[in-house]
Amino acid sequence: MKLYKIFFLFALALITSCSSDDDSTPVNELDGIIKVKEFTNDTHIIELYTSTGTTQQGYNEISLRIKDKTTNNYIQNATIEWMPMMHMTMMNHSCPYSTVEKETDKETLYKGYIVFQMPQNESEYWDLKIDYSINETNYTVTDVIDVPATEKRVVSSFMGTDNVRYIVALIDPKNPKVALNDMTVGVYKMENMMNFPVVNNYTLKIDPRMPSMGNHGSPNNLDLTQSASDEFYHGKVSLTMTGYWKINLQLLNASNEVLKGEVVTETTESSSIFFEIEF
Tell me the pLDDT tens digit for each residue of 75-119: 999 999 999 999 999 999 999 999 999 999 999 999 999 999 999
Separation of alpha carbons 64 and 57, rounded Å = 19
C-alpha distance from residue 132 to each of 46, 75, 152, 208 (Å): 10, 11, 35, 43
The amino acid at 215: N
Cβ-in-10-Å burial (0-12, 13-18, 19+) of 231 comes to middle
Task: Tell me what pLDDT residue 24 has.
Answer: 53
Task: Tell me what pLDDT residue 156 has.
Answer: 97
Separation of alpha carbons 4 and 21, rounded Å = 26
Task: Tell me what pLDDT residue 20 has.
Answer: 37
Cα atoms in the Cβ-side hemisphere of radius 13 Å centred on 190: 19
Side-by-side strand order, sheet with 79-87: 92-93, 79-87, 125-134, 137-145
Separation of alpha carbons 264 and 133, rounded Å = 51
User: Is residue 11 helix, strand or coil?
Assistant: helix
Separation of alpha carbons 260 and 273, rounded Å = 7
Separation of alpha carbons 154 and 188, rounded Å = 14
Q: What is the pTM of this model?
A: 0.89
Residue 128 · residue 143 · CB < 8 Å = yes
List, for the chain, all residue ranges whose pLDDT scores fall below the cut of 50.
1-8, 10-12, 14-23, 25-26
